[in-house]
Structure 1
Amino acid sequence: MSQAADMTDVPSERAMLVLTFDLQGETFALDADLVREVLDVAPETSVPGAAPFVDAVINFRGRVIPLADLRLAFGMGRGESTRDSRIVVIEHEVEGEPTLIGLRADKVHEVTSIPLGDTEDAPRVGLRWRTDFIRCLAKREGELIVVPDLAQIFATRGGAVGTVVPFAQS
């Protein structure tokens, strides 16, 4: 049984708390517990020879952290920064170690609660993205929200095996 199916088997009062953001007009969400900070766009330093998905680093509070672009994982083109662009700093477990990673976002919206009963698995056909990169889809007010599977994305595109702590259930 998939994670999304596991989540929908619980009472509908249970919910996941997420940060919603846009990538090329599509709405995505991350478990709010993973998010450490939302930053304005910061100067980037390219890393020669790095995978395109994680090809730069930024200075975050005196620490150098990798900067990833989920648009590339989902087959979207690299976007230009705008005044709405942000960097979402998350803590992601890489090889058993908590690691800070910056994620580019075209626009950050809000922290919101999505009832687990409003989530479902990604359909196996009809999506333009790899379904193994999608943890689940959520519906909110007629809008579709994609919850990416960061562990799978980083394991496949980032060159490291990682795990993500499951959604905190309230």
Structure 2
Amino acid sequence: MASPSTQTQYVTFSLGEEVFAVPVDVVREILDHEDAFKIPHGPDYLLGLRDVRGQGVPVIDLRLRLGMSKTIKTPHTRILVLDIPFGEKALALGLVADKVFEVTPFNLDQIETAPDIGIRWNSSYIAGVVRREGDFVVIIDLAQLFSGEASDLAKVNAGPMRAA
């Protein structure tokens, strides 16, 4: 059995047929899907705001952010509320997942780098790939995935501007 220092815990979830994972230590909670309060003129993947224990949290359709088709809500659709570290701050985000599976440990030596497919493609959001049960799990580098939008999403996170 691997020692605890060689394992990291991840929450696994699906987007369509693909399985993804995020580190369990950034997951605040997992909620049932509810429609978010729409924010005008936001990017297409920003579904709006959701109240999470008194905090307005931007909700992201991760399928759209990754260039997939829009999420179709089902009874299994969930929102993973995450606190993603950006420098000295944490950005609270809700990510829509088609289905959340489990918390599972991956041994560090199981995690492979993103494959080189011989053409230019944006794989910078892939922290690693794990082979499991004849398939793959893609570990998402959340800070990298949202690095370009972090300051804009942080403004949404702060809530509506108040008149002076």
Normalised TM-score (structure 2): 0.82
CA 1:141/1:161 → structure 2, altered by over 3 Å: closer, same or farther?
A: farther
Q: Pick from 18, 21, 26 the counterpart of residue 29 of structure 1.
A: 21
- Tell me the number of residue pairs that the alignment of Structure 1 and Structure 2 aligns: 150
CA 1:144/1:42 → structure 2, altered by over 3 Å: closer, same or farther?
A: same
Corresponding residue number in structure 1 for 2:146: 154
Corresponding residue number in structure 2 for 1:79: 71
Aligned residue for 2:21, secondary structure, equals strand
Return 5+ residue gaps in structure 1 as ranges: 1-11, 163-170
Q: CA contact under 8 A between 1:118 and 1:140: conserved in structure 2?
A: no
**Structure 1 stretch displaced more, 54-63 or 145-154:** 54-63
Percent of counterpart pairs with the same letter? 35
Corresponding residue number in structure 2 for 1:136: 128
Q: Distance in 1 between matches of 2:15 and 2:120?
A: 14
Q: Distance in 2 between matches of 1:161 and 1:57?
A: 14
> Is 2:10 the counterpart of 1:50?
no
Corresponding residue number in structure 1 for 2:88: 96
The aligned amino acid for 1:112 is T
Q: CA contact under 8 A between 2:36 and 2:47: conserved in structure 1?
A: no
Return 5+ residue gaps in structure 2 as ranges: 154-164
Root-mean-square deviation (Å): 2.2
Report the alpha carbon displacement of residue 159 of structure 1 after superposing the two structures with TM.
4.8
The aligned amino acid for 1:30 is V
Residue-by-residue CA offset, 1:53-73 (whole Å, 9 max, x unaligned): 224111111211101122122
- Runs of 4+ aligned structure 1 residues displaced above 3 Å come to 126-129
Aligned residue for 2:147, secondary structure, equals helix
Residue-by-residue CA offset, 1:27-67 (whole Å, 9 max, x unaligned): 00010000010000123111111122224111111211101
Residue-by-residue CA offset, 1:108-147 (whole Å, 9 max, x unaligned): 0000101111111111217996211111101122220001
Corresponding residue number in structure 2 for 1:68: 60
Q: CA contact under 8 A between 1:74 and 1:129: conserved in structure 2?
A: no
Report the alpha carbon displacement of residue 148 of structure 1 after superposing the two structures with TM.
1.0
